Chain A
């Protein structure tokens, strides 16, 4: 029984994959080693840096802490999958326009996290710095952006440009 592979099916960036995997395989290793999607990065591999962030069934998560066997049937979107026939995602364009990275290692995770974060804000989710969590509407200030993006670390220290890049893409987003 030990090491017995388990069959799972996943949709990753629009393509369906049927795979026999070791139950120890994380979604991060599955994407990088089995499927060949390399935009999610292995930074810390402990859920502390956010470089591996993906959208799992529409929600941003650390793919290094999710066992693939537990997510049979899931739909995954990585930074690569955010692009469409019409080109780059608005967040991706904003990161380029604002020079919101240096080495780029954390960037795919930052971008996917920002996309997930803006969806959360549109859904009216509060954050720890929201002064009144019961309030119906809160503005996505720089302080709110920093708090909501705190799960993504940049060791180059490009935060000074990351926040404006996200702020521009966030304009018009309000808590409901």
Chain B
């Protein structure tokens, strides 16, 4: 591992200020992805600013009935929280499907959102990768791309975002709170991650030295009727091939409201707006669910090795919605 300096700032403004002065520095929280990337030489920061003990490790009730999750809350504590389990079960399930018990005990909420892709070429420093070394090319385009994106990719990068947690947060309209050199701001989680375009080295819209301090979950009348389904190559402890987070409200046999997000299909968690729009007001039937899923997937652009993700995403969406509608 390349040598680096380690800084434990006194508070968040000091951490942000320190990193703002060090272009080649990064924040450290749980470290489960960052330390691995540093061992492999994929990331070679000169400075680590440790923020794990600076941001909140609490989950607070908000006056509007929502919850504020401190950035340092571990994935395991968040998944086990009684309020999350009863009011936002999709988030609890998504977290529990990610990593292992050991990893979830180290990994934090902020760090989970900022984990890097698991594209094998990104991790292999002997191969070209525009995300790791801009301008060198994308090895996955001509190589093995079975794990890669079917939505929103560019000729510069076809990598996917690996987070399960972020998929559930995307379906649940979460808001990310950020503190940076220019002050504080809050953005929908759908605006945190970005599509690769011509700058695949940028995973998110965060500016340098901006720190995620918390994630807010707004109240949603039907979020207690939500769930997360994940297809992967082994029964446990694997990243998603495709996953779906969904919340559904049915009244009198009709879909009154719905939230759907897909994982494993794009450079960011993919909010399925087309499917949602098709479903509002439609009968809560298998046929409607299939039509909505197919409408969402009409724009999919699979690569040579990942065409399977299109029917897999369709089936996962249908299964998730059927489960939530109480159907079989």
- A-side residues, CB < 8 A to B, are 1-4, 6, 22-24, 26, 45-47, 50, 53, 56, 59-62, 65-67, 69-70, 113, 116-117, 120, 123-128, 130, 133-134, 146-152
Q: Which of A23, A59, A125, A128 has the most CB of B within 10 A?
A: A128
Stretch at the interface among B90-98, B133-141, B176-184, B245-253: B90-98
With A66-B35, A67-B28, A120-B76 in contact, do A47 and B93 touch (Cβ < 8 Å)?
no
Determine if B5 and A2 form an interchain contact, defined as CB atoms under 8 angstroms apart: yes
Q: Does B328 contact A (CB under 8 A)?
A: no
Complex interface: chain A residues within 8 A of B322 (CB): none
Find B85's partner among A24, A59, A133 (CB 8 Å cutoff): A133
Find A46's partner among B36, B48, B50, B106 (CB 8 Å cutoff): B36
Determine if B39 and A46 form an interchain contact, defined as CB atoms under 8 angstroms apart: yes
Chain B residue with minimal CB distance to A58? Answer: B105
Interface size on B, residues (CB 8 A): 35
Q: Does B89 contact A (CB under 8 A)?
A: yes
Given contacts A123-B80, A146-B235, 7 further A-B contacts (CB under 8 A): A23-B6, A50-B102, A61-B102, A62-B102, A62-B103, A69-B50, A126-B85
Complexed CA–CA distance, A63 and B103 (Å): 10
Q: Which of B28, B35, B92, B102 has the most CB of A within 10 A?
A: B102
With A26-B35, A47-B103, A59-B105 in contact, do A124 and B5 touch (Cβ < 8 Å)?
no
With A2-B5, A46-B39, A133-B96 in contact, do A117 and B101 touch (Cβ < 8 Å)?
yes
Complexed CA–CA distance, A68 and B92 (Å): 29
Complexed CA–CA distance, A27 and B92 (Å): 29
Q: Does B52 contact A (CB under 8 A)?
A: yes
Q: Does B86 contact A (CB under 8 A)?
A: yes
With A66-B106, A67-B28 in contact, do A113 and B39 touch (Cβ < 8 Å)?
no
Determine if B52 and A70 form an interchain contact, defined as CB atoms under 8 angstroms apart: yes
Q: Which of A70, A123, A124, A148 has the most CB of B within 10 A?
A: A70
Q: Which of B28, B35, B50 has the most CB of A within 10 A?
A: B35
Complexed CA–CA distance, A69 and B36 (Å): 16
Determine if B35 and A133 form an interchain contact, defined as CB atoms under 8 angstroms apart: no
Sorted nearest first, the 7 A-B pairs with minimum C-beta distance are A151-B100, A150-B236, A23-B6, A128-B96, A150-B237, A125-B80, A59-B105
With A61-B105, A126-B79 in contact, do A24 and B1 touch (Cβ < 8 Å)?
yes
Find A3's partner among B3, B103, B106, B224 (CB 8 Å cutoff): B3
Find B36's partner among A65, A126, A148 (CB 8 Å cutoff): A65
Complexed CA–CA distance, A133 and B90 (Å): 9
Q: Would you call the interface of chain A mostly helix, strand, loop, or mixed?
A: loop
With A128-B93, A151-B237 in contact, do A23 and B102 touch (Cβ < 8 Å)?
no
Determine if A151 and B99 form an interchain contact, defined as CB atoms under 8 angstroms apart: yes
Determine if B1 and A150 form an interchain contact, defined as CB atoms under 8 angstroms apart: no
Complexed CA–CA distance, A24 and B48 (Å): 11
Complexed CA–CA distance, A53 and B76 (Å): 16
Q: Does B4 contact A (CB under 8 A)?
A: yes
Complex interface: chain B residues within 8 A of A59 (CB): 76, 105
CB distance from B15 to the nearest CB of A (A): 13
Complex interface: chain B residues within 8 A of A124 (CB): 80
Complexed CA–CA distance, A11 and B224 (Å): 42
CB distance from B99 to the nearest CB of A (A): 7
Complex interface: chain A residues within 8 A of B85 (CB): 126, 133-134
Determine if B236 and A147 form an interchain contact, defined as CB atoms under 8 angstroms apart: yes
Chain B residue with minimal CB distance to A72? Answer: B8
Find B3's partner among A2, A148, A150 (CB 8 Å cutoff): A2
